[in-house]
Chains A and B, each alone.
Chain A
Amino acid sequence: MSTNRPVEVATKAEQFIRQDDIHEPMHDRFLWATMQRRNAQAAALPEWEELRELASQIKEHALTHLDEYLTQFEANATQRGAQVHWARDGAEHNEIVYAILKAHGTTELIKSKSMLQEECVMTPYLERRGITVTESDLGERIQQLDGQPPSHIVFPAIHKTRKDVAQLFARTIGTDPNNDDPHVLTEAMRNNARPRFLAAGAGMTGANFAIAETGTFVVCTNEGNADIGAAVPPLHIASIGIEKILPRVEDLGVFLRLLARSGTGTPLTQYSSHFTGPRKGGELHIVLVDNGRSRRLGMADFWHSLKCIRCGACMNTCPVYRRGGGLAYGATYSGPIGVILDPTFNEYKYSELPFHSTLCGSCSAVCPVKIDISDQILKWRRVMASKSYLPLAKRLSFAVAGHVFAHPGEYHTLQKGAGPAIGHAPHFLLYNHTLNPWGREREIPKVAQQTFREWYLAHRRNNGSPDPQS
């Protein structure tokens, strides 16, 4: 089903910008405002930078001892009555989930947000086998109804205006297309989802953290939708990436203080829920999923990406993401974290993502677990360049540039040629959209009549002493 052509992220970003004067400015404004709230929350904690360092070290410790902590988690969760399964990849995850549902005769499933389940492409798999899957998170449900993936891991529909949502809901759940009040729309979704919670045979969640010490996993939401899904249907299935493991309960103090502040600019999410074994009268299944994580652990340059706690702060701060939107990346994960994760799933398909960045470094600065995101983006560029994934034109121009810059004589000849050329080239050629992307958006700077080097030779020709005349 997946095409193997590279995702043209720059083109798709441009489409997002050009659709009108409403969507992109709104998208940028909301995420910028979220970043300002994040900064205010962080500034209020004198220990903020210390917490980031602690979180980074705890994660690095957990990941460098991952096998021990996973087996400890499994033992403790099992001892508390959970059933723990292991899935090597997305396909196996889906098979396990389906087998559990089938064993219970369940055909109605309600789920909360899980990027891992997105990764596994679980929903279409289950739907093809007669399972009705309802997203309960409002943003995810909006995207599900619209047949789109989420565009942001915390705010899945942040690229849509209220008008877009109103029209979508009118089409799909029968609300008034002219009423775009978010309160009214949210209420409509509440009333639409509630019967599904009550009818569901199973609730599925992801997990933000899994604690080895007690076999507990933690789910943080603002809506409480994960909690309803766990508390009402008799069966709860949790999909957990193996990298979510933390050693001890007290580690959560550090992570919970960082998570919501980083991603949404609030001290905590409304609900931080801790599940240890099944609830009274319920059954709990945990599916631990690898899907490339163990392989990533072995990548010296990139394994730190496994520290990610899926807060979304990198997306909020990234000026390229804010402008171009999350759907442009064409992948489960978008934004800066997406740029460094997606190539591990398909290097060729995502070969252009590492160039969808100015390497400004803001992502690394906001990451609560200090992933060196910006440095990893540059490293991915080296991978893409070495595999000849760069578009031909780019490769040729950099080969020429590299040669010229290594040879001063040629460089000076080029300078002499470039100046007059730019000065005399017809305007239409310089500003042609295809031939000259610079000229599409900007006026071209004038090449100086005298380069610095030429000035230097004229005024400082003793190469160190000022010219006595100047």
Chain B
Amino acid sequence: MVNKLFRRDEIIKKFSDGQRIMIGGFATKGVPDKLIDALVESGVKNLSIISNDTGDPGVGQGKIVGNQQAVKYLCSHIGRNPEAGAMGLSGKMEVELCPQGTLAERIRCGGSGLGGVLVKTGLGTIIEDSSQKLEIDGESYLLATPLRADIGLVKASKADTFGNLQFHGTSRNFNPLVAMAADLVIVEAEEIVSLGTIDPDFVMTPGIFVQMILANEGE
């Protein structure tokens, strides 16, 4: 079977200016920190990032914000990163806020071939102003449209060499969703195991969704 292990320098070459990049993680946990470091090192600019949040200043996604590589963040929360807040308010970086559950569902739609889902979240709030409102059987809903990206960055606790993934605890969060919704999915795993090691019943993300896995140093 295809071996998807790649060196860091091979992964860095995949980043380019203006890409739309989706990143797993919640605050500073379950975040693909090594892949973010690689993205920061690449120095590419004008990125549109889709992610739950903007991390902490100088930590996780905060590094992308601090390095001024993003022109846009689509996320549910930036409150832990005052730097992102200041850049959003000054217009230096566009911030589009989306309720967290709606964001998760939009990403799931993007990876599942769905044209959107209808949610009640945001009815009667400013979210309604920027959404299409639909009535189904007398009930009002807002249309949540699908999201996809050029590149998805995913953190797993365990990956086999084909990219079958497992996640651990609350570090799962958006990662399995991101793994389905990007053209090129790159995984960073705490542990890389040989093919056949993970029982198929306990694979959380099937390897077909994954194109590249960051190899351990020296492999």
Whether A and B are associated in the same complex: the answer reads no
